[in-house]
Structure formats: C-alpha cells, structure tokens
Amino acid sequence: MKILMIEDNESVAQMMDMFFKKEQWDVVNAYDGEEGLAQFNAAPDSFDLITLDLNLPKMDGMQVAQEIRKTSKTVPLIMLTARDSESDQVLGLELGADDYVTKPFSPITLVARIKALHRRAEVSDAPAEAKPETTAEYDVVTPHFKLSTKTREAFLDDEPIEGLTPKEFDLLHTLAQNPKQVFSREQLLQLVWDYEYYGDERTVDAHIKKLRQKIEKVGPQIIQTVWGVGYKFDDSGLDK
Amino acid sequence: MKILMIEDNESVAQMMDMFFKKEQWDVVNAYDGEEGLAQFNAAPDSFDLITLDLNLPKMDGMQVAQEIRKTSKTVPLIMLTARDSESDQVLGLELGADDYVTKPFSPITLVARIKALHRRAEVSDAPAEAKPETTAEYDVVTPHFKLSTKTREAFLDDEPIEGLTPKEFDLLHTLAQNPKQVFSREQLLQLVWDYEYYGDERTVDAHIKKLRQKIEKVGPQIIQTVWGVGYKFDDSGLDK
DNA sequence: AATATACGTTACAATTTGGTGATAGGAGAA
DNA sequence: TTCTCCTATCACCAAATTGTAACGTATATT
C-alpha cells in the first residue's frame, strides 16, 4: 500500500510517517498543496490512499481536494482538520473526502480509519464475489484471542471481554496487535493518546489495571508487566 | 448487478457511487444525457438498472428516458427529480420510469428503492412460477428479528414493532443490516438522513430513544449504546 | 538487609458523553 | 385553512470515563 501524505507540520508529518512505516506502507510526503498536487498528478494511479491536511500553505486543502477529484473520482481521501472548524467537515465531504479525522488524533485511531477506508475501497474494486457481510472480520487473531474494531469486541477463548471503555479497548488493541512485543509507557501514551498529549505515566498503569480486571473476569491474564520496561500482550501461556 | 448512473452533479454522483459500491454493484457513470444514452446504446443488455437525473445538460432527462425506452421497454429505470417539480413525476411515469426519487434523498432510501425495483424486475423476468405474492420477503433476518422494507414492518420474536415512523424504521434498518457493527452518530446521519443534511448529533440520540421505547413494548432491548463510539444492533443476547 | 526505584492500587475531581423532556418548526392530511 | 404527527434542536441532568496524586507494595541492586 502506498500513501500520499500532504501535511505541512513537520513534527506531525514525522510522527505519521513513523506509524505508517510501522504498518509497512510506502509513504510519500508533500509539505504544501502545490507539491502534493504535483506528486499526485505525476502518478495518479500509484497511490492507494491520500491523507490531506486542510490547513496548508500555498494552496488551500479544499482546492487540493477538488483538483485531486478532477483526476480521480475514486482514490480514497482522508482529510485532517482542526477540531473546531465544523463547517470544514461539511464542505470537505462535499468536495469528495471519504473520511476526516480531527486534530490532534491518536495514531491508533488514524491508522484504524485508514485501514477501514482502504478495506472499503478494495472491496468495491474487486469483482462481485461471495459477500462475508455479517461474518465479523477480526483485526487481531491468535489461537486464544481475537479483536474486531468494527464491532469493538474482544474475545478471550471465545468469551467476550465486556464493558471495555474506549481507551481500554484501544490500549488492548495496540498491545495485542504485536503480541509479545514490549511497549514502554511512553510508547503507549504516544500510540493510544493524542500526539499532543504529554501526561503522567501512571495513567497507563491505571488503565492497565482496569483492563486487567475486565480480562480476569473471563480468563487468565494476557497482559504482562516487563519490569523496568513496560507492558506486553502474551497469551502463549494458554497453549498447553 | 450493473447500474448505469446518469447524473451531472459531481458530488452527488460521487456519493451515489460510494454507496452503490458498498453494495458491490458495478457502476457506470455518465455526466450528461448524450453520454448516458451513448453508454446505454453501446451495450443495452448489460445494465440491470438505470438511475436518471432529470435535470441534465445537453439533453433533457425526459428525452433520454424516451430514447432508452425505444431500445428497451423493460430495463428498470429510476428517475431522480427535484422535490418541487411534481409534474415531472406524472410525465416521468408516462415516459416509462418505474420509480422516481426526489432530491435530496438519503442513501438508505435510494438503495432500498433500487433493490425493490430490481427484485420486482427479476421476478417478472423469470418464467411463470409459483409467485409468493403476499408472502413477505425480509431484508434482514436473524434468529430473533426480521424486517421487511416492502411492508416496512419489523418483528422481534414474531411480535410486530408497531408505530415506527419513517426515520425510526430507516434507522433500525440501517443498524440491523449490520448486526453488532458499531455506527457513529455521524455515520448514521450520513446513511439515514438526506445527503444535504448536516445537523446536530443529538438528533440521532433522540430518534434512538423513541425507537427503543417502541422496541421495549414487545421485547428486550436490541439496540445498544457503545460508549464514546456510537450505537449498534445486537440481538445475540436473546439466544440462550 | 538497606536503599532506591518501579509498580500497583485507590480515591477523587474534572471532564466528557449520553439520556431525557420540552419546545417549536414543518410537512402532510383532513 | 386547521389539525396532527413527525422531526430537529436545545438545555439540563445523570452517568461514565479519565487523569492524577498519594501512598502502599514489590523488585532489583548494593
């Protein structure tokens, strides 16, 4: 998958770039509207998805969107917009955005939205086939654990883990996406919270605790503490 | 299923394209009357259905309809017309439209009308068989719930949910079509309301409330709140 | 064992989000 | 027209979530 990212704020661009690469996506970054449009027109068919910041130098994001839509009516387009400007959303959707995300966002959210949009686009391109409509598709699967962002449900040995709050779900999602990999508190704050958020590391602990409580209700612990480092998801202890 | 969409308004075309593709339909879009007719005549038998905007550049929609009907007397044809022009409806039906929808419409309505028309056409194409005339066909079925857009009735464990208003029915339809999938308020506004409508998210809450009241009269709750995310249809709690 | 550091736990205030009822506008029917 | 029902929106209250500080407990290091 190849993404065109049109974003002028350098640190935000860097952050996004990092997370996209973690997903093994190719990223092309343009730092203003003109450059973005040029990049796109140079090879319109090569991009699978575009993220477009609305607040851009040289050429306004809305204009860019319009120009892009003149060339391709279908390429998936996500707009990034400041939280307050609600009218942008209206206009954005009219100008052909498929989704928009308000800044500041959490990486896990953005990535999830991109994946969802890409999935939709892929399906509609494909020839008509057997429709798995109602068959839940899971984003994370191990022999004992599965999780779906579509339904926001998580299962441990087919028992639903119930009552998860948004943060708890995202946290579990992040950890479970890379089983056995240790995440520092700092990393988790970066992944699950807004990229502008710099808070207490104990916050992570507190959420882990509540998450563990809800997991314990249906099965053994799958979130381990790695002393001096952080936390990890590991359900391999259930294999025997 | 393959659809010929004759529609000049780009953003409306795009929106329709998106929802058609979600249904996994093939879509061919023509941006004026001439092009539409050309597309149709190039392969008259390849289309299963045509949507035709009446207000078109180059060649008037009515003319297009007449020309189409010269070639095929049976291809299902839906006209899209501005809300005020009532005379169009009369003329349209005389010129061979099978249905018409007033703009602006809500996606769920348009898709439902297309499905209904297509179903009718399919049945009448088929060799004379036992026609289940009055036997309701349901659009959504789970072990405890069924819903028919034809009769606009919904049943919970064979008990009719009564007194549903149009919006409430569409809302229930949208949610029930994808059981367990969480819909944000924003998504619901996009699906159930007109494409030109951008209103308060609390509006969804209010409709959900009234819908729940009517559901409660005949059985347990099948619409759940997913805190911080949205709402979902889930009747799996009734299985045991 | 002593110490320092990391972690777990709890309680609580602040914030966010959802539910609800009142109300007024508007469409459609009588 | 008048009437009725549907619909949208607002304001207020209730409920859930969240971040953080404080403090107790566990772990590693010396």
User: To the nearest whole number, what is the mean pLDDT of chain B?
Assistant: 89
pLDDT of A132 strictly over 90: no
pTM: 0.89
Measured between beta carbons, the chain B residues lying within 8 angstroms of A89 are 198
3-state percent breakdown (helix, strand, coil) of chain A, nearest 5: 45, 20, 35
| Alpha-carbon distance values, B64 to B32, B38, B111 (Å) | 10, 10, 22
Q: Which domains does chain B have, with CATH numbers?
A: 2-125 (3.40.50.2300), 140-238 (1.10.10.10)
Greater pLDDT, B128 or B142: B142
> Where does residue A189 fall: left (phi above 0), alpha (psi -120 to 50 degrees), or beta otherwise?
alpha
Mean pLDDT of A56-83: 88
Which nucleotide lies at the shortest CA–C1' distance from B228? C17
Q: How confident is the model at residue B131 (pLDDT cuts 50, 70, 90)?
A: very low
B→A contacts (Cβ < 8 Å), by residue, are: 1, 10-11, 13-14, 17-18, 21-22, 24, 26, 29, 178-182, 198, 226-229, 232
Q: How confident is the model at residue A148 (pLDDT cuts 50, 70, 90)?
A: very high
Greater pLDDT, A96 or A56: A56
Give every CB contact of residue B182 below 8 A, 6+ residues apart in sequence.
Answer: A150, A151, A152, B226, B229, B230, B231, B232
Share of chain A above pLDDT 70, in %: 88
B10-13 LR contacts (CB < 8 Å, sep 24+)? B10/A69, B10/A73, B11/A94, B11/A95, B11/A96, B12/B53, B12/B103, B12/B195, B13/A73
Greater pLDDT, B106 or B83: B106
pLDDT of B97 strictly over 50: yes
Give me the phi and psi of B40, to 5 degrees please.
Answer: -65, -45
What pLDDT is stored for residue A194 in this prediction? 87
pLDDT of B72 strictly over 60: yes
Q: Which of A90, A164, A131 is nearest to B182 (CA)?
A: A164
Joined together, the tokens standing for residue A175 give: 């950890």
Quick: pLDDT tens for B167-225.
999 999 999 999 999 999 999 998 999 988 888 999 999 999 999 999 999 999 999 99
Measured between beta carbons, the chain B residues lying within 8 angstroms of A128 are 1, 24, 26
Specify the DSSP class assigned to residue A138.
Answer: P
What pLDDT is stored for residue A130 in this prediction? 41
User: Which residue of A lies nearest to B22 if distances are taken between CA atoms?
Assistant: A124
Determine, for residues B11 and A94 on separate chains, whether the beta-carbon distance falls below 8 Å. Answer: yes
Mean pLDDT of B34-55: 95
Length of chain A: 240
Q: Which of A45, A54, A98, A107 is nearest to A76 (CA)?
A: A98
List, in sequence order, every residue forming a beta bridge with B50; answer none if it has no partner.
B4, B77
**Residue in the block written with tokens 């240790």:** A182
Which residues in chain A, range 112-151, keep a C-beta under 7 Å from any nucleic strand C atom? none
Quick: pLDDT tens for B3-37.
999 999 888 888 898 889 888 899 999 999 999 99
Quote the CA–CA distance of A214 and A189 in Å, as a whole number: 21
Q: Answer yes or no: is B230 CB < 7 A from strand C.
A: yes
Distance from CA of A124 to the nearest CA of B (A): 5
Q: How confident is the model at residue A81 (pLDDT cuts 50, 70, 90)?
A: confident
Q: Answer yes or no: is B83 CB < 7 A from strand C.
A: no
Q: How confident is the model at residue B136 (pLDDT cuts 50, 70, 90)?
A: low
List, in sequence order, every residue forming a beta bridge with B223; answer none if it has no partner.
B233
What pLDDT is stored for residue B11 in this prediction? 81
Q: Answer yes or no: is B5 CB < 7 A from strand C.
A: no
Helix (H) or strand (E) holding A232: strand A230-233
Joined together, the tokens standing for residue B75 give: 């291809």
Parallel, antiparallel, or unpaired: how do β-strands A26-30 and A2-6 relate? parallel
pLDDT of A201 strictly over 90: yes
pLDDT of A176 strictly over 50: yes
- Amino acid code (one letter) for B70: K
Joined together, the tokens standing for residue B99 give: 């249905």
What pLDDT is stored for residue B195 in this prediction? 87
Q: How confident is the model at residue A131 (pLDDT cuts 50, 70, 90)?
A: very low
Q: Which of A41, A56, A40, A52 is nearest to A16 (CA)?
A: A52
Measured between beta carbons, the chain A residues lying within 8 angstroms of B11 are 94-96
Q: Answer yes or no: is B188 CB < 7 A from strand C.
A: no
Task: With beta carbons less than 8 A apart as the criterion, state whether B64 and B37 touch.
Answer: yes
